[in-house]
Structure 1
Amino acid sequence: MTKARHYFPHLLAVAFTIFFIVLGINPVSRQVWIAEAVPVVVIFLLLIGSFRLFRFSNLAYGLMAIWLFWHTIGGHYTFAHVPFEWLQLLPGEGRNHFDRIGHFSIGFYAFAMAEWLLRRDLCELKLATVFSIFFIMSIAAGYEIIEWWYAVAEGGDAGIEFLGSQGDIWDAQKDMLADTLGAIFSLLIYWFARPDKQEERAKK
């Protein structure tokens, strides 16, 4: 069991690599897929590159992987047209909420940020919590600006599909709210799990 926990990040990385390659084959729109794949690849490579410098807890890697898998599915189908019928039943005038859930999962990276701050002894828990929420909010705002730039520059169907607003004039604000709520949710998990304390106990 200990060995399985030790290699959990490695197994997760292999599973995601296979998943990414499979869904990169014949996507609905190659142009949209490339635009959506860029942030996924960047985050994935950063996690691999930082592994030897700082290994997060398995829970942190598991939470961060949710967005990687979810966003990869959205990139394959385009977020507005992911064929998950049950998502159409959620409140929102028949809107496909796949991207909203994706934004909520982005907030899970607040867990990893809080863990990094506390295990590095850079601040105490309350400050780490506040900083991690603001970190996600800034990422959310920055990504919405990038979406806007890309949609304007690319234009056409590819720009509209990448923007993914589905006709909602408040889409950007709702996406940022979803990111923030995801951050709060993941930090509540952090307060309960306290991986920084687990590491301290393991060293004793």
Structure 2
Amino acid sequence: MRINVTRENFPVVLAAVFTVFFALLGIAPASRAVWIAEVIPLVSVFVLLVVTYRFFRFSNIAYGLMAVWLFWHTVGAHFTFSEVPFGAVTELLGGGRNHFDRIGHFSVGFYAYAMCELFMRRRLAGPVVSTLFALFFIMSVAAGYEIIEWWYAAAEGGDAGVAFLGSQGDVWDAQKDMLADTLGAVFSLLLFWTMGRRWGSRP
């Protein structure tokens, strides 16, 4: 069956593809305990986007950028982030660790594009405040998530706690993750103010 993807139905088709992808990778994950912990924020964001779709439709660019994290995080939840088969990239970037989670954190920053778009289209603030709010929003989420990771790892303990924390022996892992989130936000905001206008940051 061929699905005709248009500008109008792109978010719906993307949501359907993600639902199937999520269901398939929910089968026999490496650690069910880690999978459950990882998919809670994943499902929360996806449901929020689905529920708010009829009230505020982001641009296709924004939905595409936000989907990167949804798909990436789903893969990480299935394997646990430190065990995702990512050898080629790990060797390229060096450092003796699996960098799959770093790229995942970078993709979290892509949500700054949607946040800035929301503020600008709703005229909630001017360009400077909208941009700064989107950036600081991502930085706040990044810091909050690191606190949640620490809390879960301390509470759960054992292999599940270590796998969820995903520090892989790096004492600066939390700080580097937050930096990756921030850099992703800066990248997406630059994209919004350069290419976004050309592509049309509207439905």
Please point out which of 59, 63, 70 is paired with 1:68.
70
Please point out which of 116, 119, 138 is paired with 2:118.
116
Shift of 1:153: 0.3
What's the Cα RMSD here? 1.8
Shift of 1:11: 0.3
Match for residue 135 of structure 2? 133
Maintained 8 Å contact 1:57/1:195: no
Maintained 8 Å contact 1:119/1:196: no
**Counterpart residue identity of residue 164, structure 1:** G
CA distance in 1, matches of 2:50, 2:93: 38
Maintained 8 Å contact 2:117/2:201: no
Change (3 A) 1:78 1:3: closer
Maintained 8 Å contact 1:115/1:195: no
TM-score, scaled to structure 1:
0.93
CA distance in 1, matches of 2:114, 2:68: 13
> Aligned pairs, how many?
200
Shift of 1:93: 2.1
CA distance in 1, matches of 2:76, 2:188: 22
Please point out which of 27, 35, 55 is paired with 1:53.
55
Shift of 1:125: 1.2
Change (3 A) 1:155 1:103: same
Match for residue 8 of structure 1? 10
Question: Unaligned 5+ residue runs, structure 2?
Answer: none
CA distance in 1, matches of 2:191, 2:201: 16
* Residue 153, structure 1, aligned to residue 155, structure 2: yes
Shift of 1:92: 4.1
Match for residue 193 of structure 1? 195
Maintained 8 Å contact 2:113/2:192: yes
Tell me which stretches of 4 or more aligned residues in structure 1 moved more than 4 Å: none
**Counterpart residue identity of residue 131, structure 1:** F
Shift of 1:88: 1.6
CA distance in 1, matches of 2:113, 2:106: 13
Please point out which of 163, 177, 180 is paired with 2:179.
177
